[in-house]
């Protein structure tokens, strides 16, 4: 007979889980494995609320196995290290992001692209190598193989740094891969939420001209004055969209809802690249003529490997890039999820786990 979650492993753990597709989270007792030779045990201090947490809690993608403890943007302190652990010591501040395991042998793993390994193990809602379910960062502690733990630079604050572990790497990786780091080039960022606002900050740090493309005019002042965007385009203003045709070298599309690609493709110059990092649950319509007539492309990107995630954290620490966050207590999570569904947050909720998750 299968063991209950709190008896599956030797170390008691406590968090908040969703139990059905209402997505409502509530207290949940479970357990974590004993710290193995290559493992690091981490006391979780903060955990960002990613929109993927909401999609998963409500089973919007259709592959949730309840109960699920979400959370893959966590920062904490090392409590214990295994005998083979070289990179971390007790007391250090570390982060855990979207993945906690991979095969370590395939071509992707060997190229530090563990995120593209066919056997990637996700921080929550996956199965670990021992066959047990993985639980995420809306919890008091986690045990992780050192390969999938990030060192948190000293000058990077925990609250503002936590969302970088998913949102940050999700936009940083394609910006590097698709060549969006040449100063002077023009980047469009579609959608101004958790991913989008970090993309604006990183784009500016790379020396790009940045235009935010949004369906909502009310974010304009914020985008330009506070986030540093150079301009702001509202998709429902035809004259302005027309004037911007053929002006952008790249677009990072962070929008998760189904939306038209044709207007975005029109904004690209010859050889322009539209990179989609949002995850709509239905297919999008892809017009082919604009691709052929302008040698344009639509590409995807999915978080990043461990090496690149560390590089991203160090880059953000160097350039003073953090997410704009609203720190909340664990018991606010239901309201936070409702607000997140309406994009009512500037721009990431971060749960103060250590101070609000009672045993």
Residue 325 makes contact with another protein by CB under 8 A: no
Residue 307 makes contact with another protein by CB under 8 A: no
Phi first, then psi: what are they for 235, rounded to 5°?
-65, -20
The three-point CA angle 267-273-276 to 5° equals 95
Residue 283 makes contact with another protein by CB under 8 A: yes
Q: Which is nearer to another protein, 24 or 297 (by Cβ)?
A: 297
Q: Which is nearer to another protein, 2 or 288 (by Cβ)?
A: 288
* Of the residues 79, 205, 284, 327, which one makes contact with another protein according to CB under 8 A: 284
* Of the residues 102, 214, 301, 322, which one makes contact with another protein according to CB under 8 A: 301
* Of the residues 25, 156, 212, 261, which one makes contact with another protein according to CB under 8 A: 261
On whether the CB atoms of residues 101 and 86 are closer than 8 A, the answer is no
- CA dist 125 to 99, 189, 259, 267, 284, Å? 11, 30, 27, 38, 26
- Total residues at interface with another protein (CB under 8 A): 33
CA distance 47 to 71: 6
* Of the residues 100, 277, 323, 350, which one makes contact with another protein according to CB under 8 A: 277
User: Would you state the structure tokens that stand for residue 217, as one six-digit string?
Assistant: 């005019």
Residue 291 makes contact with another protein by CB under 8 A: yes
Q: Give the H or E element holding residue 52.
A: helix 51-57
CA distance 245 to 348: 31
Stretch that binds another protein, among 220-228, 278-286, 315-323, 350-358 (CB under 8 A): 278-286
Residue 58 makes contact with another protein by CB under 8 A: no
Q: Which is nearer to another protein, 300 or 320 (by Cβ)?
A: 300
Q: Which is nearer to another protein, 42 or 277 (by Cβ)?
A: 277
Residues with Cβ within 8 Å of residue 292, at least 6 apart in sequence: none
Report 326-345 residues binding another protein (CB under 8 A).
none
User: Would you state the structure tokens that stand for residue 309, as one six-digit string?
Assistant: 């995630």
Phi-psi region of 168 (alpha: psi -120 to 50; beta: other; left: phi over 0): alpha
Residue 105 makes contact with another protein by CB under 8 A: no
Stretch that binds another protein, among 37-45, 136-144, 235-243, 287-295 (CB under 8 A): 287-295
Residue 238 makes contact with another protein by CB under 8 A: no
CA distance 317 to 306: 17
Residues with Cβ within 8 Å of residue 134, at least 6 apart in sequence: 100, 121, 122, 123, 124, 125, 126, 127, 128
* Of the residues 221, 243, 257, 286, which one makes contact with another protein according to CB under 8 A: 286
On whether the CB atoms of residues 165 and 303 are closer than 8 A, the answer is no
Stretch that binds another protein, among 79-87, 138-146, 221-229, 294-302 (CB under 8 A): 294-302
* Of the residues 23, 196, 203, 278, which one makes contact with another protein according to CB under 8 A: 278
**Least Å distance between CB 230 and another protein?**
21
Mapped onto helix, strand or coil, the DSSP state of residue 252 is strand
Residue 127 makes contact with another protein by CB under 8 A: no
On whether the CB atoms of residues 304 and 198 are closer than 8 A, the answer is no
CA distance 51 to 278: 10
Report 160-189 residues binding another protein (CB under 8 A).
177
User: Would you state the structure tokens that stand for residue 46, as one six-digit string?
Assistant: 């903060």
Residue ranges binding another protein (CB under 8 A)? 107-108, 113, 116, 177, 261-262, 270, 276-280, 283-302
């Amino acid at each position: 007979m299968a063991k209950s979650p709190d008896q599956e492993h030797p170390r008691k753990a406590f968090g908040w889980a969703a139990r059905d597709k209402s997505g409502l989270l509530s207290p949940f007792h479970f357990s974590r494995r004993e710290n193995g030779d290559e493992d690091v045990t981490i006391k979780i201090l903060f955990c960002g609320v990613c929109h993927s947490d909401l999609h998963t809690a409500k089973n919007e993608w259709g592959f949730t196995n309840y109960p699920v403890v979400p959370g893959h943007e966590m920062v904490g302190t090392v409590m214990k290290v295994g005998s083979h652990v070289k990179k971390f010591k007790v007391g250090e501040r570390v982060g855990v992001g979207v993945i906690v395991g991979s095969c370590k042998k395939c071509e992707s793993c060997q190229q530090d692209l563990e995120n593209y390994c066919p056997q990637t193990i996700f921080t929550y809602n996956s199965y670990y190598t021992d066959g047990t379910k993985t639980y995420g960062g809306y919890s008091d502690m986690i045990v992780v193989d050192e390969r999938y733990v990030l060192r948190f630079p000293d000058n990077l604050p925990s609250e503002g740094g936590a969302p970088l572990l998913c949102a940050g790497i999700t936009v940083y990786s394609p910006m590097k891969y698709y060549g969006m780091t040449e100063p002077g080039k023009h980047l469009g960022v579609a959608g101004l939420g958790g991913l989008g606002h970090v993309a604006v900050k990183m784009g500016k740090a790379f020396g790009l001209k940045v235009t935010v493309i949004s369906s909502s005019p009310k974010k304009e002042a914020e985008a330009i004055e506070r986030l540093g965007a150079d301009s702001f385009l509202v998709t429902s203003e035809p004259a302005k969209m027309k004037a911007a045709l053929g002006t952008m070298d790249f677009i990072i599309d962070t929008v998760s809802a189904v939306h038209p690609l044709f207007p975005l493709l029109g904004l690209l110059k010859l050889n322009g690249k539209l990179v989609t990092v949002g995850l709509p649950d239905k297919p999008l319509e892809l017009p082919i003529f604009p691709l052929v007539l302008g040698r344009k492309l639509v590409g995807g990107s999915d978080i990043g490997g461990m090496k690149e995630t560390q590089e991203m954290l160090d880059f953000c620490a160097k350039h003073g890039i953090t997410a704009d966050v609203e720190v909340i207590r664990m018991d606010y999570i239901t309201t936070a999820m409702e607000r997140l569904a309406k994009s009512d947050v500037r721009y990431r909720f971060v749960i103060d786990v250590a101070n609000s998750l009672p045993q």
